[in-house]
Amino acid sequence: MILKEGIGLFKVRKPRSFNLVTRYYDADKERLMRRVKEIEQEKGKLAGDRVQREMNFRTKTDIKWKKNYVAKARMKSNIRLLIILGALTAVFIYLYNNIDAISTTFENLGR
């Protein structure tokens, strides 16, 4: 007797396939392209190219400003961290150098 797939005691299931089509959606770019097309229809091709260059310039400068803002915030965070580490180091050095005085003080309190 020939057993066909899916019939009989030993079913062999095929794994389900998973096909995910990755997509990147940029709403700003879509708005830009829509606006450029509107201007091209209104004023002609040359005006549309000029507007597209201006919009690209705006997006590039926005990206640069955001990168600068993030870099400045990161620098401030690093400086703050260094100050805290310096203060903790100074406290530990002070305690290490004066451990004898501190221990005698606690011994005198215990008597």
Mean pLDDT across 80-107? 91
DSSP character for 84? H
41 Cβ contact list (under 8 Å, min separation 6): none
Mean pLDDT across 30-38? 83
The whole-model pTM stands at: 0.42
- Ordered by start, the domain boundaries in the chain are 27-110
Q: How far is CA 72 from CA 16, 67, 79, 92, in A?
A: 49, 9, 11, 30
DSSP character for 8? S
Question: What's the token pair of residue 94?
Answer: 């002070």
User: H helices then E strands: how many in the chain?
Assistant: 3, 0
